[in-house]
Amino acid sequence: MKDIQAHINGLRHDFSKMSLDEDTLNANPFKQFEIWFQAAIDSKVPEPNAMMLSTVNAKNCPSSRIVLLRNFSAKGFVFYSNYESQKAKDIELNNAVSILFFWPELERQIRIEGKIIKQTAAESDIYFNARPRNSRLGAWASPQSEKISNRKILDDLFQKVEKEFEGKEVTRPDWWGGYVLEPERIEFWQGRPNRLHDRICYSKTFNNNWEIARLAP
């Protein structure tokens, strides 16, 4: 244990690849996100759409997990989930959430905070129907976040659903669909030497414009 602790305390990495300057930023945070996301794709960052979603439950305890971004626009950032999962229960009680993208290959992260709404059923249907068949079957089979005694139960549920839909189209279950995070704050973070990182924050104003400010690291 002491060796691990010493190793952790000795971990050091000085960020020096790029900088983030107000003069080169796009005034639209969604355009700036698109620029950085494209750079992550071009740099072949593994799973560039993986993001940490943080919610708060009824006891005000936070919970985080990785989900996948599936779309974004000026309306917000979209991901999909079982509406009976733990994250969904948290969102039902408190729809203020945050998501975090971290791309260490580029020494960048993006923090996004705002309120979540559900996608329309029609929008969720479009995405669900585009998924691989086994992924659609998995959505029906998994009682997400519920306790199960062993792996066999999950495998048996999948086989049962597979038989039920044999020769049929796998439609979207009512308890599964999309969420849209409507951002109120978006922060772009670029690693810099000596821990003096660049942090630029867009905050939505009362008239739905965006105020841009630099934050101390």
End-to-end CA separation in angstroms for the chain: 31
Strands 96-103 and 198-204, sheet pairing: unpaired
Q: Give the pLDDT confidence score for residue 39 in this predicted structure.
A: 97
Q: CA 147: distance to chain centroid?
A: 24
pLDDT of residue 7: 76
pTM, two decimals, is 0.91
- Low-confidence stretches of the chain (pLDDT < 70) are 11-16
Which pLDDT belongs to residue 23?
Answer: 87
Name the residue ranges covered by the structural domains of the chain.
17-132+173-215
CA atoms within 13 A on the CB side of 159: 6
| DSSP state, residue 78 | E
pLDDT at 162: 96
Cβ-in-10-Å burial (0-12, 13-18, 19+) of 205 comes to exposed
Q: Is the dihedral of CA 153, 159, 162, 166 positive or negative?
A: negative
How far is it, in rounded angstroms, from Cα 202 to Cα 181?
15
**Active site positions, annotated:** 195
Rounded distance between C-alpha atoms, residue 53 and residue 100, angstroms = 7
Looking at residue 15, what is its pLDDT? 67
Question: What pLDDT is attached to residue 122?
Answer: 97
The answer to whether 112 and 182 have CB atoms below 8 angstroms apart is no
Output b/e per residue, 121-154; b: 16+ Cβ within 10 A: eeebeebbeebeeeebbbbbbbebeeeeeeeeee
Fold of 17-132+173-215: Pnp Oxidase; Chain A (2.30.110)
Which contiguous run of DSSP H or E holds residue 159? helix 151-164
The pLDDT tens digits of the residues spanning 47-78 come to 999 999 999 999 999 999 999 999 999 999 99
